[in-house]
Amino acid sequence: MDKILVHGNRRLKGTVRISGSKNSALPILAAALLTREPCVISRVPDLSDIHYMLTILSELGCEVERASGVVTVKAENVTTEAPYEIVRKMRASVCILGPLLGREKEATVSLPGGCIIGDRPIDLHLRGFEALGAAVRVQSGNVKVLAPELRGSTISLRGKFGSTVLGTDNVMMAAVLAEGTTVIDGAAEEPEVVDLANFLIAMGAKIEGAGTRRIIIEGVKELHGAEHEVIPDRIEAGTFLVAAAICGDGVTLTRVEPGHLTAVLDSLSQAGFQVETDKNRITISPNGTRRPLKLDALPYPSFPTDMQAQMCALLATTDGISVVTDNVFPQRFMHVSELKRMGANIELQGGTAIIHGVEKLSGAPVMASDLRASAALVLAGLQAEGVTEVNRVYHIDRGYESIDDKLNSLGAEIERLKV
């Protein structure tokens, strides 16, 4: 198990290239199960979650090849059962349910694992499958779905804390091979959903409305192979923007989609930073005094829950009082106790963090609890005096491709040690 040592008080400057989106690549790889023909997917990031997904596809019988960010999947003959041993490490493995149900009309998948960031049930996924005509049973830790045939239906995926991204993905993948028309109301609007829909359309699916609250799918008899390039990872981009805000002297992100980051860019501008955008570039620079913020994490296009931990790290040393509320995962504040170990002054009130900015943080041993919390601790270490030791960095390797190397290329001093 690795740990990361972050030497603080280094200034960042230069250019960094953003990788392909993890949250797009995972369901797109799963969607290759919908056809017997080869699918070629490029700009796939080198992450442990991607490795787990490719392992799952191989275990299901797919032929998988990977080279230089390009993955080829041929699912000519597949099994329909994914046991606990191969899905337990990644929650997103649940997204194989939809394509297996769509193609084979049955699937058995163990309830998945992943980050522990509060209650993230899959009942909305299952409700969608039932609306398409599938029988659903949860037994002995497994989800079993079975349908002699799938028929289009009108399905609501509105949940307690907003729409479900993976649920929208899963139902959309099952519905593309259902008979008739499916309407998903309360669909997730995230760019990753649009990216999956574009891949499915390239495979021959008929989908309208992706990126809105209402997606209409006209079922087809079969899909064919396709090629697709994954969109840039907006959360990786947001994380590097916050790193540059914390200790940057002018940092430019390339291979990025500024339109996917509007809420993050607006928040950084409100916090006192100069942000310039071009077609596939974003540059962020200091612009006077930092200002505190009031942030509410909500489903896209609002400020993303996947960025609230990183913003807490920035606001920890921003003079004044900032208030950060997570309306998507109200329990997603495990990073707060670790930031407090470094000297942050943060009070938790339910799903809200009240942050009193301090002058400086001090390096300390800290423990990563989930993917985005681990990134926040690295960012906090960039501005701390002394050395910050981040343990359990396997979390960060789930979603950030070579984050230590990329930050070092900008002027950080980060060591990765085997323990």
Rounded CA-CA distance 390/374 in Å is 8
Q: Are strands 273-277 and 281-286 parallel, antiparallel or unpaired?
A: antiparallel
Dihedral of the alpha carbons of 217, 199, 211, 281, in degrees to the nearest 10: -170
Q: What is the pTM of this model?
A: 0.96
Q: Per the omega criterion (within 30 degrees of 0), is the bond before 301 cis?
A: yes
Please give the pLDDT value at position 119.
47
Neighbours of 139 (CB within 10 A): 8
The answer to whether 276 and 245 are in contact (CB under 8 A) is no
Residue 39 bears catalytic tag: no
Which residue in this structure is represented by tokens 């991204």? Answer: 165
- HEC profile of 185-245: ECCCCCHHHHHHHHHHHHCCCEEECECECEEEEECCCCCCCCEEECCECHHHHHHHHHHHH
Name the catalytic one among 39, 95, 115, 247. Answer: 115
The CATH number of 2-18+232-418 is 3.65.10.10
Which residue in this structure is represented by tokens 């596939």? Answer: 280
The answer to whether 193 and 187 are in contact (CB under 8 A) is yes
DSSP state of 99: H
| Greatest pairwise CA separation for the chain in angstroms | 64
CATH architecture, range 22-229: Alpha-beta prism (3.65)
Please give the pLDDT value at position 113.
53
Per-residue pLDDT of the chain (419 residues; tens, 9 = 90+): 789 999 999 999 999 999 999 999 999 999 999 999 999 999 999 999 999 999 999 999 999 999 999 999 999 999 999 878 878 778 788 999 999 999 999 999 987 654 443 445 788 999 999 999 999 998 888 899 999 999 999 999 988 777 899 999 999 999 999 999 999 999 999 999 999 999 999 999 999 999 999 999 999 999 999 999 999 999 999 999 999 999 999 999 999 999 999 999 999 999 999 999 999 999 999 998 999 999 999 999 999 999 999 999 999 999 999 999 999 999 999 999 999 999 999 999 999 999 999 999 999 999 998 999 999 999 999 999 999 999 999 999 999 999 999 999 999 999 999 87
Cα distances from 183 to residues 42, 268, 284, in angstroms, run: 30, 37, 41
Q: Which residues contact 61 (CB under 8 A, 6 or more apart)?
A: 75, 76, 77, 78, 79
DSSP state of 349: E
Please give the pLDDT value at position 89.
76
Please give the pLDDT value at position 381.
98
Please give the pLDDT value at position 117.
37
Cα distances from 275 to residues 252, 305, 412, in angstroms, run: 10, 21, 21
Please give the pLDDT value at position 162.
77
Rounded CA-CA distance 251/147 in Å is 52
Please give the pLDDT value at position 265.
98
Domain boundaries, the chain: 2-18+232-418, 22-229
Please give the pLDDT value at position 112.
65
